[in-house]
Amino acid sequence: MTIRFKLDPQIATAQTPPADWYTDPAMLSLEREKVFRSTWQYAASLDLLRLPGNYAAVDVIGMPIILTRGQDGVLRAFHNVCRHRAGVVAHGCGNRKSLQCQYHGWLYGLDGKLKNTPEFDGVENFNKDDFGLIPVRVETWGGYAFVNIDNSAPPLLEVLGKIPAETADLNFDELRKVERRDYVINANWKIYIDNYLEGYHIPIAHPGLFKEVDYDKYRIDAFRYYSSQYAPIRPVRSEDSAGRVFTELKGDEQAHYYWIFPNFMVNTYPGNVQINIIVPLSHDKTLTIFEWYFADPGTPEAWNNLQDGIAFSDNVQKEDIQLCEDVQRNLQSGVYHQGRYSVKRENGVHHFHGLLNEFLNK
C-alpha cells in the first residue's frame, strides 16, 4: 500500500494518487484514524434537538454518539457508551429527562453525569462523579450539529471560513427537511468526492445538467478546509426551453456547491438547500445521504416544482453512481496506476488530495 504518496503541490506537474489509495482495505482504517477522527463530522439536524430533553443517538463513521439538549438549553454530545460495560445508552431520538443504559440500567443525566447505578453496593473505590459519559466536542452551523473527537482540531467556524457569511441569506431556521434519499454505491468514498469536486465530466456524463448550467463560467475556488463551486444557471432560450428545470437566476442567486473536508457537502439555491453526507461502509462501498431542505412551497404549483427539482437531482445522482462504480472496477483491474489533473477543471480534486495527503502524514 502506497500510504506515503507525496502529492506535488503544483497541479500542472502533479500526478494523481495511486490506485491502491482506492482499492486497499487498509487505507480505510488509516483514514478513520487520521482523517475522520480529526475533522468535524455531521451528526444531526437541529430539528431533532431544539427542545430541552431532546436527544439523538447517531453513528458517526463508526463512532456511536449521543447528542442531548439539556434542561438548561445547552447542546451537548457524548460517546454513546455506558461506562459500566460498554452498553448502549440510548437508541433513536426523542425527549427524556434522563438516559438509561439499555444493558444494566445505569442512569445518566442529559448533562452526561452518572445519576444511578442499580445493585452496585459494595463496590470499593468507586465514585460516580468519575464515571459520567465521555464528552465529545459539538458545534453548530446553519441547521446542523457537528461533532469532533479531536480536541486539538480548529473550531468549526474556522474550518467553514466564509461559508456562513455567504449563506446567511438562506435563513436556515425557516427551511424544513422535505426528503431524504440514501444511495449505496459500490465504490470507494474518495471516488465519489473526486467526482463531486469537478465539473469536467458534465458535458459528457450529465446531458440534462449541461443543458441547465453555463459550463464556460463554471468555476471552483479552493480554501484551507473547503472549496466552493460556482454554477451559474444558463438563460432559458426558446430553442431549448422544453424540459428545462431551472429558470435563470441573477447575481448572488446562482447555485453554489460547498464541500467541507472530508465528506460533507452543502448545495445552495435560492430558498432551498441540499446536503450530502458521504459515509464509507468499506473500502469499496459508500453510503451517500441526500437531504433536501426547502422553505414552505406555499402553492401546489410550487410543490410540483420542488418535486421536479428533487427528481432532477436524483437522475444526476444515478448518472454519477454509474461513473463511480465504473471507476472502482477499473482501479481494481490492476491496469491503472496514476493519472494527471486538468489544470483548468480539476483544481478542486487536487485540493482534496492535498488535504488527504496532509492528514494521512500527520
Per-residue confidence (pLDDT) for residue 198, from 0 to 100: 96
Percent helix, strand, coil in the chain, to 5, is 30, 30, 40
Q: Which one, of 118, 120, 122, 148, lies nearest residue 135 by Cα?
A: 148
Question: What CA–CA distance (Å, rounded) separates 127 from 216?
Answer: 66
Domains of the chain: 41-149 (2.102.10.10), 162-360 (3.90.380.10)
Question: What CA–CA distance (Å, rounded) separates 341 from 267?
Answer: 24
Render 138-200 in DSSP notation, one character per residue: EEEETTEEEEES-TTSPPHHHHHTTHHHHTGGG-GGG-EEEEEEEEEESS-HHHHHHHHT--T
- Note the pLDDT tens digit of each residue in 261-315: 999 999 987 778 999 999 999 999 999 999 999 887 777 777 887 888 888 889 9
Q: Which one, of 100, 98, 77, lies nearest residue 89 by Cα?
A: 100
Do residues 308 and 245 make contact, with C-beta atoms less than 8 angstroms apart?
yes
3-state secondary structure of 48: helix
Question: What CA–CA distance (Å, rounded) separates 356 from 8?
Answer: 13
**CA-based Rg of the chain, rounded to a whole angstrom?**
22
Do residues 9 and 351 make contact, with C-beta atoms less than 8 angstroms apart?
no
Under-70 pLDDT residues of the chain: 1-4, 235-253
Per-residue confidence (pLDDT) for residue 18, from 0 to 100: 96
